[in-house]
């Protein structure tokens, strides 16, 4: 199906699910999916889509720009890593992937090989870093007198969240994409999610705990909020 906003026509797909409300999704490739209850008439769904045309069009534009801004992984190109640009350097001989003085040397002959080598290296870096920060943040809460567990960390590549906490099971999900942003942003998300072991809402009391233990929270949270727009 299609909707038009300011003269531009967009296509969307309806997905029927057991749910109460109609929810709009813009996927990473820019396609629009509309989740809707089984009994919702198509006319009602289409009216809902058109009423939210401005928001959908803006989101599609943001997703398209984001894809265009993604690194091409050619030799000498730059990629973001912990908030800093890193230059890729192809090695024509097999070698471990190593980051030294802002240069990431990896074994690759094509952009696709470079992308895969970088991904494998980044996963290892992410697991080690998140594991270390998890221990550090848990200890900070305990030393401040809060009863929190050492969370079980699940790393995901999420599009709409930087992290989430399931207090009942002691699990925290962390976004893999945070590896692009400054280290302070990663700490901010960890402190945010750990505070949910104490307050399950986003009340003033919740943010008081976060800011007590991580005074730089607002500074780094603002960086992530700018990226969400």
Report if residue 126 sits inside a domain. Answer: no
Q: What is the pLDDT of residue 176?
A: 97
Question: How far is it, in rounded angstroms, from Cα 196 to Cα 140?
Answer: 15
The list of the chain residues with pLDDT below 50 reads 229
- 105 burial (CB, 10 Å; 0-12 / 13-18 / 19+) is middle
Q: What is the pLDDT of residue 67?
A: 62
Q: What is the pLDDT of residue 98?
A: 97
Q: What is the pLDDT of residue 65?
A: 67
Q: What is the pLDDT of residue 227?
A: 67
22 contacts 41 by C-beta, under 8 angstroms:
no
**Tokens, residue 122:** 């980044």
CATH number, residue 204: 3.30.2010.10
Structural domain for 216, as ranges: 144-228
Report if residue 109 sits inside a domain. Answer: no
Chosen domain end from 53, 69, 85: 69
Report if residue 139 sits inside a domain. Answer: no
Report if residue 7 sits inside a domain. Answer: yes
Chosen domain end from 34, 69, 104: 69
């Amino acid at each position: 199906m299609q909707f038009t906003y300011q003269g531009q026509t967009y296509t969307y797909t309806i997905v029927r699910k057991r749910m109460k409300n109609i929810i709009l999704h813009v996927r990473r490739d820019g396609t629009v999916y509309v989740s809707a209850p089984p009994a919702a008439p198509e006319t009602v769904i289409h009216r809902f889509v058109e009423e939210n045309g401005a928001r959908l069009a803006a989101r599609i534009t943001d997703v398209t720009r984001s894809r265009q801004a993604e690194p091409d992984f050619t030799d000498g190109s730059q990629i973001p890593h912990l908030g800093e640009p890193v230059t890729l350097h192809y090695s024509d001989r097999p070698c471990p992937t190593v980051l030294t003085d802002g240069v990431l040397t990896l074994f690759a002959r094509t952009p696709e090989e470079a992308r895969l080598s970088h991904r494998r290296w980044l996963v290892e870096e992410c697991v080690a870093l998140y594991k270390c920060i998890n221990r550090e943040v848990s200890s900070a809460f305990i030393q401040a007198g809060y009863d929190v567990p050492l969370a079980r960390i699940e790393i995901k590549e999420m599009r709409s969240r930087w992290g989430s906490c399931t207090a009942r099971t002691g699990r925290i999900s962390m976004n893999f994409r945070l590896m692009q942003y400054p280290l302070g942003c990663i700490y901010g998300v960890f402190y945010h999610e750990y505070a949910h072991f104490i307050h399950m809402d986003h009340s003033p009391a919740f943010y008081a705990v976060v800011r007590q233990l991580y005074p730089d929270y607002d500074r780094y949270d603002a960086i992530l909020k700018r990226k969400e727009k």
